[in-house]
Structure 1
């Protein structure tokens, strides 16, 4: 599923600035001008990373179950979702889509 330009809950983003530069995170909450991020490793679900929207870039990939199944959001499922979305992005890039 592709994004429409604005950052939304469940979207895979890459950090552009700061200590976590070039790392991938899932957006768990959006409160303009901030987004709250989690990667399930260093930034866990119970201690989200607060970043300004201008310091992240969207990959255009969205993890749909985050909105529909909030009880399923835990560190393991977030790590797995990031891994799966990155693999999907690699295969799309390799196939030339």
Structure 2
């Protein structure tokens, strides 16, 4: 079974408030087996557009990635993020050759 991934790019306007979102997303991420592969590290953007934070999260399956996003706990966390950040999120199925 192919893994699932969240690819997120985020601009944070108020990092102190954004920390509440980070705290709130910890439980749903744990519940659905999420593992951070990239979390706001140094980057270069040689093509296209970018945002200040880039995040890549791996899930045990594509369905787990979808279920995490749709969970009540994560939807509550989104409300903490929405007012203090702007972002893009793609949920994608991994390649399983």
> Is the TM-score greater than 0.5?
no
Q: TM-score, normalised by structure 1?
A: 0.23
Structure 1 or 2, whichever has the larger Rg, is: 2
Question: TM-score when scaled to structure 2?
Answer: 0.23
